[in-house]
Amino acid sequence: MSDNTVVKAAKNVVESGEGVARNIWLAGLGLYSRSLEEAQQINEKTNQVFDELVERGKEVEIEAKECIGKNAEKATDEVEAGMNDLFYRLSGVDREKLERMDEKIDKLTVAVEKLAEAE
């Protein structure tokens, strides 16, 4: 082989090596760019899913409060009925009749006070 051929072969090897190195560099840049894009997409999707979960949580909270409110009213009514029953068994007096009697006594008291003032 001549010196000229060896020089050309060496130049081809160097150019080929530079091309491979450049391609590796460009592939790295491409990978970096693609990773950033995918990370941004994941971030956007994560934010969207989070917002959807917050909205769904608000709906569940409203339903839970309504359910708790209904159950609290029912429990209160049941406790009151139990207390009235216990009061009746202990005293023999119906609590509702007692409350109506209290109202009548209050009306009579007002009427007696008016009569006393009129005299």
Whether the model pTM is above 0.75: no
**Is residue 10 pLDDT above 60, yes or no?**
yes
Model confidence over 63-113: pLDDT tens digits?
998 888 888 888 888 888 888 888 778 877 777 887 888 898 999 999 899
- Total number of residues shown for the chain: 119
- Rounded to whole angstroms, the Cα distance separating 93 from 49 reads 61
Q: Name 84's Cβ contacts closer than 8 Å, sequence gap at least 6.
A: 94, 95, 96
Structure tokens at 7: 């020089």
Tell me the backbone φ, ψ of residue 2, rounded to 5 degrees.
-90, 165
